[in-house]
Amino acid sequence: KIDYMFSDCDILTRIDLTHFNSVIVTDTRGLFSGCSSLREINLSNFNTNNVTNMSYMFNRCSSLKEINLSNFNTNNVTNMSFMLGGCF
């Protein structure tokens, strides 16, 4: 469970988690919520096979311009509410 790990890090502008071991992660709720300066996220190697909750994951990331979710597996996700809420 890594929910709200980077929540409200409003000075964070970019993050690359390509080498982050997320194999056992089940909850990414609010992971980047409130990161209002975040412009770029690379999650291409982020393992989401066991994730069930992605709600509010990027909520209020109003500066987000580039996001790489190319290998996201959402087969087990049951909650994606407000995942990108307030981003546009």
pTM > 0.75: yes
- pLDDT, one tens digit for every residue, the chain (88 residues): 788 999 999 999 998 887 888 999 999 999 999 999 999 998 888 899 999 999 999 999 999 999 888 888 999 999 999 999 998 7
CB contact at 8 A, 50 and 28: no
**What residues pair up with 27 in beta bridges, in sequence order?**
53
Q: Is 40 helix (H, G, I), strand (E, B) or coil?
A: strand
Residue 23 main-chain phi, psi, to 5 deg: -60, -40
Beta strands in 2-80 (DSSP E): 14-16, 40-42, 66-68
How far the first Cα of the chain sits from its last, in Å, is 27
Which residue, among 27, 34, 26, 25, has the nearest Cα to 6 in the 3D structure? 34
